[in-house]
């Protein structure tokens, strides 16, 4: 159970972020929900979560903006008094071959997916240290474990996030704080809707479980990592990929 814990989730208006918010709210956690430029969606999720008899506040912020994330973290701490779990879920994809990829596309993906996570950890580092407790969950990707063609920017950002996870775990361990990553494979979200039928079928055929994952598949792992049962796990990367990288 996560009752009385305060969970800060970035990119929480839809997909995996929303599923994590709902799953943790069902465990009794209060939710600080972030996204950028998704005010209407955030409001809808807030209403949905409040029906679960928990507190939810929303924060519209670009996680790649260092100053803006500091302001958001300060607001969350003022509103809730503490943060127990940080879920770094916000991310974007701008696919293209390396030859055709623009510098802007590379920089933007790195800024959101990698620097955005660093920003959030940086601004909560002192809070977690003083609190002598805390849990950080970074949503990486199998693309960060094993590079993927057409995704040099995305793979680099998620591979960097895995390294950031392991370094952070070592720095914060002595303060009673854990930091782990979840590496999803093909998950049915708005980000994978662009796959046409044939490409999707070819991808699924490579997955030993022969199906795409759901946001809930990822959320269940996040709930475990946020709970007391995972208190001795840190610096780990848990793949939720149906066995994709086992073959």
**CA 114/CA 155 separation, integer angstroms:** 11
234 in any annotated domain: yes
The CATH number for 113's domain is 3.40.50.720
Does residue 96 lie within any of the structural domains?
A: yes
39 membership: H or E segment, kind and range: helix 39-50
Tell whether 10 is covered by a domain. Answer: yes
Q: How confident is the model at residue 126 (pLDDT cuts 50, 70, 90)?
A: very high
**SS3 state of residue 99:** coil
Kindly state whether residue 204 falls inside one of the protein's structural domains: yes
pLDDT, tens digit (0-9, with 9 covering 90-100), for 57-101: 999 999 999 999 999 999 999 999 999 999 999 999 999 999 999
Domain housing 230: 6-246
Any domain includes 194: yes
- Would you say residue 28 lies in a domain? yes
Please state the pTM of the whole predicted model: 0.96
Residue 179 DSSP symbol: E
Active-site residue set: 154
Each residue's pLDDT tens digit, 21-47 = 999 999 999 999 999 999 999 999 999
pLDDT value of residue 200: 73
Tally of structural domains, the chain: 1
Phi and psi based region of residue 28 (left: phi greater than 0; alpha: psi -120 to 50; beta: remaining): left
Instruction: Determine the pLDDT at residue 195.
Output: 62
Measure CA of the first residue to CA of the last residue in the chain; give whole Å: 35
* pLDDT tens-place string over residues 167-201: 999 999 999 999 999 999 999 886 666 666 677 78
* 1 in a structural domain: no
Residue 40 placed within a domain: yes
């Amino acid at each position: 159970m996560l009752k009385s814990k305060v969970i800060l989730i970035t990119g929480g208006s839809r997909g995996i972020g929303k599923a994590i918010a709902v799953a943790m709210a069902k465990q009794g956690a209060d939710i600080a929900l972030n996204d950028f430029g998704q005010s209407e969606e955030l409001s809808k999720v807030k209403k949905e979560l409040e029906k679960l008899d928990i507190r939810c506040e929303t924060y519209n912020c670009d996680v790649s903006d260092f100053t803006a994330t500091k302001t958001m973290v300060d607001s969350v701490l003022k509103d809730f008094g503490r943060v127990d779990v940080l879920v770094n879920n916000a991310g974007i994809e701008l696919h293209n071959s390396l030859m055709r990829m623009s510098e802007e596309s590379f920089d933007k993906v790195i800024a959101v997916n990698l620097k955005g996570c660093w920003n959030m950890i940086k601004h909560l580092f002192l809070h977690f240290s003083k609190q002598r407790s805390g849990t950080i969950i970074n949503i990486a990707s199998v693309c960060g474990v094993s590079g993927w063609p057409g995704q040099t920017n995305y793979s680099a950002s998620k591979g960097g996030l895995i390294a950031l996870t392991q370094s952070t775990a070592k720095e914060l361990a002595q303060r009673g704080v854990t930091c782990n990553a979840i590496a999803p494979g093909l998950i049915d979200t708005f980000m994978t809707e662009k796959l046409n039928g044939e490409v999707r079928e070819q991808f699924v055929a490579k997955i030993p479980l022969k199906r795409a994952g759901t946001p809930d598949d990822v959320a269940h792992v996040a709930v475990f990592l946020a709970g007391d049962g995972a208190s001795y796990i840190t610096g780990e990367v848990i793949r939720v990929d149906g066995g994709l990288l086992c073959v």
